[in-house]
Structure 1
């Protein structure tokens, strides 16, 4: 089932914009400190997008499957544990 995640898409688009800006900064031979700051901003956007996606998946897919009896608690625990490593 396909899902629409506008907040996640927004953050990923921001990261893409930042990356384009960083490449331009590199071409202009900008200061390394500024480049690192911009890379940190990209990393933050991607990390937040990842967290939101995991929260959505746990909140909707896993818990919904549990409530409908499509998944047992052990399978849900395993799926959640497999996602936690990405946080």
Structure 2
């Protein structure tokens, strides 16, 4: 089976590598006894980077993979799929 790659995957990898760097920094900060506020700020950065990577991956899946599986639909059927994709942006 051929690997699945979408246009957004390099962006997602970049975000996850950034999150990995932040997470390593958090561990070092805790081990060094840094202030909790500094640690919390770094943890927030990790959390945001991962959340954005997940959101991008899911949105990409909906935009490309779902359309591929569903195929051509009539206007009335298409509206439901488009509405689902739109509301999913708020997850």
TM-score norm. by structure 2 comes to: 0.72
Write out the 4+ residue segments of structure 1 that deviate beyond 4 Å after TM superposition. Answer: none
TM-score (norm 1): 0.76
Which residue in the other structure is 2:19 paired with? 15
> Of the candidates 42, 48, 69, which is equivalent to residue 44 of structure 1?
48
Cα distance in structure 2, aligned partners of 1:7 and 1:68: 29
Structure 2 residue aligned with 1:32: 36
- Structure 2: gaps spanning 5 or more residues: none
How many aligned residue pairs are there? 77
Pairing 1:2–2:12 present? no
For structure 1, the residue ranges without an aligned partner over 5 or more in a row are none
2:70 is the counterpart of 1:62: no
Whole-angstrom CA distance in 1 between matches of 2:29 and 2:41:
12
